[in-house]
Amino acid sequence: MKKNVAAGFLSFALGFLPSDASAAAIWMEDFTYADGSLTNVSSLWTTHSGTATPILVSGNTVAGMSAGAGSREDSNRLLDTTYSTGVLFTGFDLTLSTTPVGSAYFLHFKDTTTGFRGRVFLSEPTVTGFRLGLENDGGDNAAPLPTTSDLNLGATYRVVLGYDTAAGTSRLWVNNLNEASPTIEDTTPAATLVAISALGLRQGGSATATYTGLDIDNLITATDFVSAVPEPSVYALGMLGLATFCFLRRRK
């Protein structure tokens, strides 16, 4: 009897898990590497610009990214193929410890060279903290720049970027699970369309666009929105069912 009850509960709990969870994910990156330069500790990431101030992994997180005067490393990880149609998504956890000056982009999709699209920016706050900005192909201090409201230093946000490879437009969600209502969007198409083949992390080299203390974790690239924003509570329910099943089996 106990076995049947446990199995039934497990089936019920796992029934809440989406059958296509992560089915559209291209790759998931939790930076579970030794501490050190990202391109040294992982063969999946490649430097495409900059020679100094490497992107570092610390405590299984990309930690302490910065922007400012001087050379800084930028890195990318290839997708599974090249995309010229459809929407690409990337979701990530973001924490920032210092207030930015100006607006510097730090993450983007890219082609095989320097075609950067769907650029996500750190921007000065209206009052305090920081804002996130979005531009399809503009550089640091791009204007006009669609931005969020002020966000809090030290808080962790789940950010999702969506870039339409055929239209050259982008959308951004911040702690927002409603795909139909992005937090901000840039509807002005990129000047030229490029075939997207990678996701890039970027540390700016501008003296007028600066920040320090940017951490990024739990990075997912995908071809649908849902796969970029996994809901921990749903997976926790499944694990609770599994734990209960194991517990009841031991009491047989």
pLDDT exceeds cutoff 90 at 195: yes
pLDDT of residue 242: 45
How is residue 65 written in tokens? 């990214």
Task: Write out pLDDT tens, residues 168-193.
Answer: 999 999 999 999 999 999 999 999 99
What's the pLDDT at 14? 35
pLDDT band, very low/low/confident/very high, at 230 (cuts 50, 70, 90): confident
Q: Answer whether residue 240 shows pLDDT above 80.
A: no
Answer whether residue 146 shows pLDDT above 50: yes
Q: Where are the domains of the chain?
A: 1-21+230-252, 22-228
pLDDT at position 250: 52
Domain 22-228 in CATH 3.30.70.20? The answer is no
The answer to which of 5-19, 77-91, 145-159 has the lowest mean pLDDT is: 5-19
Helices (H), 113-182: none
Give the separation between CA 1 and CA 51, rounded to whole angstroms.
65
pLDDT the model gives residue 237:
40
Tell me the DSSP string of 195-223: -EEEEEE-----TTSBEEEEEEEEEEEES
Dist CA 45 CA 160 (whole Å): 20
Minimum mean pLDDT among 97-106, 132-141, 188-197, 235-244: which range? 235-244
For 241, half-sphere exposure in the C-beta direction (CA atoms, 13 angstrom radius) is: 17
